[in-house]
Amino acid sequence: MAENIFAEETEEKFSERFSEMIFSSITCLAVAMGEETGLFQVMTATDTPRTSQEIADAGNFKERYVREWLSTMVTSHIVNYDPVKETYWLPAHRRCVTNSLASWSLLPPVLSTAFFPLAQCFKKDGPAGVSYEVYPKFDHTLNKIHGPLFENTLLNDVLPTMPELLEKLESGIKVIDVGCGPGSSTLVLAKRFPKSQIYGLDQAEKPLIKAREEAKSIGLTNAIFVCTDVATLPADWTGQYGYAFAHMIIHDLADPPKVLKEILRVLTPGGVLSVFDPKLESDLQDNISHTSRSLAYATSTFYAVSMMNCVPTSLFTEGGAGLGVGFGRRKMTELLKEIGFAVTAVGDGMEGSWHFLCNKKLAP
């Protein structure tokens, strides 16, 4: 039996761990500032140590703000500092801050825009939920986090496990990308499969404007973006689509069963649905890590994001389901089967997700 690393934790050790979580969360805001402003990109542009003024000039920033940011990065052991020359540099082994991991640092400030309205939702007489509009850069942030997964993991690891679907995508079929946001997944699929028509669907028009501009700028005519309620798709779409793609969206929806029924309706007989949802089990006790602090933090982050965004935005709509990330593997499998899908496999999806691979049953 694996050792429970928290079992013999003393009050002193817990206080130390708790303080680390609190203080790290505040420092995370400075990391997010480096990501949002492009300061990390400026720091990685050269190996040469530079003064705060030189760094500010390179990025067209105000030196005083840059100096305070650098002080945070130095004392948190991200950036190195030479006190004699008063120069700063980002060591090679820490340049991973410029990959998608740094994009996660944007979640705390983005989610915090709803912090005080959400606090009111906890009260019995408070509002039911929070509008998605309260999170002005949430789609942008998720796009930065998930974009590399679509470009790499989806194309190189996930789709090759479905050779029949891959062949159809190569030959040309119609695809719906449910809840596409700014459209990075839609664009990746459209570029990879030029003979297929990829329809990116989202109920918000604003992110689709940017997606259409991006498609036009790279000459993609097979990426079509449609602003629509995915719970009520057009009547003439029945049986038209060979593949449906839903990444980290089903648990967010106000009415998941209704949306899934619509997806089932518009799929061709034998059509394929890929649902990617958080890699959690349906029972809380099965998501508690006793052996790894990093895994425990990763899992609690899932639940925190759900509390701050997934649940309140779902409940904002009257009658919203509020499933949250903890809906989990068993319940999602059961729901898909209840709707009428044949669930052919449940396995590892892209980073941090299950892949529920489903088919629309052929008529007997």
Q: What is the pLDDT of residues 218-253, one digit of tens each?
A: 999 999 999 999 999 999 999 999 999 999 999 999
CA 358 to chain centre: 22
pLDDT at 363 over 70: no
Residue 19: both structure tokens together: 């303080």
Taking the CB of residue 100, how many other CB atoms lie within 10 A of it? 15
DSSP 351-364: TTEEEEEEEEPPP-
The confidence band for 284, taking pLDDT boundaries of 50, 70 and 90, is: very high
Q: Where are the beta strands (DSSP E) in 237-316?
A: 241-247, 267-278
The rounded distance, in Å, linking the Cα atoms of 42 and 79 is 12
pTM, 2 dp = 0.92
- R_g (Cα) of the chain, nearest Å: 23
pLDDT at 7 over 90: no
- 104 with 146: CB under 8 angstroms? no
The rounded distance, in Å, linking the Cα atoms of 275 and 277 is 6
Residue 134: both structure tokens together: 């309260």
Q: What angle do CA 353, 355, 357 make, to 5 degrees?
A: 165
Looking at residue 2, what is its pLDDT?
A: 63
Domains and CATH numbers, the chain: 11-98 (1.10.10.10), 116-360 (3.40.50.150)
Q: Pick 189 or 295 by higher pLDDT.
A: 189
Q: Please, what's the b/e burial string for 170-182 (b: 16 or more CB within 10 A of its CB; e: otherwise)?
A: eeebbbbbbbbbb
Q: Report percent pLDDT > 90 for the chain.
A: 84
Q: Which of 339, 356, 340 is nearest to 348 (CA)?
A: 356
- 244 with 273: CB under 8 angstroms? yes
pLDDT at 361 over 90: no
Pick from 4-8, 32-36, 81-85, 168-172: least confident: 4-8
Pick from 114-118, 287-291, 301-305: least confident: 287-291
Per DSSP, 20 falls in state H
Per DSSP, 161 falls in state G
Q: Which residues contact 235 (CB under 8 A, 6 or more apart)?
A: none
Pick from 123-137, 288-302, 347-361: least confident: 288-302
pLDDT at 62 over 80: yes
Q: Is the dihedral of CA 359, 360, 361, 362 positive or negative?
A: negative
Looking at residue 178, what is its pLDDT?
A: 97
pLDDT at 273 over 60: yes
Looking at residue 364, what is its pLDDT?
A: 53
Average pLDDT over residues 261-274: 97
The confidence band for 114, taking pLDDT boundaries of 50, 70 and 90, is: very high
Residue 346: both structure tokens together: 């449940």
The rounded distance, in Å, linking the Cα atoms of 273 and 335 is 14
The one-letter amino acid at 247: H
The confidence band for 126, taking pLDDT boundaries of 50, 70 and 90, is: very high
Q: What is the pLDDT of residues 294-323, one digit of tens each?
A: 888 889 999 999 999 999 999 999 999 999
Q: Is the dihedral of CA 83, 87, 90, 93 positive or negative?
A: negative
Average pLDDT over residues 96-118: 89
Q: In this structure, what is the dihedral angle of CA atoms 308, 311, 314, 319, given to the nearest 10 degrees? A: -140
pLDDT at 98 over 80: no
- 139 with 204: CB under 8 angstroms? yes
Q: What is the pLDDT of residues 207-224, one digit of tens each?
A: 899 899 999 999 999 999
